[in-house]
Structures are given as C-alpha cells and as structure tokens.
C-alpha cells in the first residue's frame, strides 16, 4: 500500500521523505538533539493518517541503523543495531 508524505521524527528534528510506493524502501540519516526514539507519520492512499513509534532508544552520540517494515498501514517489523 502506497504511503504519502512520509516523515521521520526524532527529538528536535524531522525529515520529510515524501511518498513511497508499495514494496519500495527509503532511508535517511538522523541526528537527534538529545535522547530520542523514532516516530514515523504518513498518510495512506485512502486518506487515513498514521503515526507509529519505533521501539528503540538512542542518543546523539550513537551510531547504527534502524529498519521499520510497514504493511497495510501498520509497522509489522522493526530492527535496530547501535554502537556507542
């Protein structure tokens, strides 16, 4: 299902990634201003808006990757790995 207006938010910053087609991927580098987690927001093609929290904690000094898989408008899998 296509997502419209995808935005990734961390403490103190947001990153507009735009639209994403079904089956596609997008990525961005984030740098929070303090302790943070990740929120994603987007709109489905039927007009429903969604907000999802990715269950991880990190700080500006952390380095790593966070992956979230969204199906039918819901986060169904999330993985993350950090180095400190």
Three-state SS letters, 2-20: CEEEEEEEECCEEEEEEEE
Domain count, the chain: 1
For residue 69, what are its two tokens?
């898989």
Give residue 7's pLDDT. Answer: 96
Q: Could you list the residue range(s) of the whole structural domain that residue 68 is in?
A: 3-83
Give residue 83's pLDDT. Answer: 86
Give residue 33's pLDDT. Answer: 96
Give residue 45's pLDDT. Answer: 87
Per-residue pLDDT 10s for the chain (84 aa) are: 789 999 999 999 999 999 999 889 899 999 999 999 999 999 998 999 999 999 899 999 999 999 999 888 888 999 998 987
Give residue 50's pLDDT. Answer: 94
**Torsion, Cα of 20, 49, 35, 25 (10° steps):** -10
How many C-beta atoms surround the C-beta of residue 11 within 10 A?
Answer: 17
């Amino acid at each position: 299902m296509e997502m419209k207006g995808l935005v990734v938010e961390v403490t103190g910053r947001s990153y507009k990634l735009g639209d994403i087609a079904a089956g596609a991927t997008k990525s961005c580098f984030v740098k929070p201003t303090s302790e943070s987690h990740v929120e994603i927001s987007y709109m489905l093609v039927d007009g429903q808006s969604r907000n999802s929290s990715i269950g991880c904690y990190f700080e500006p000094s952390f380095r790593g990757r966070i992956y979230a898989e969204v199906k039918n408008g819901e986060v169904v899998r999330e993985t993350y790995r950090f180095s400190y």
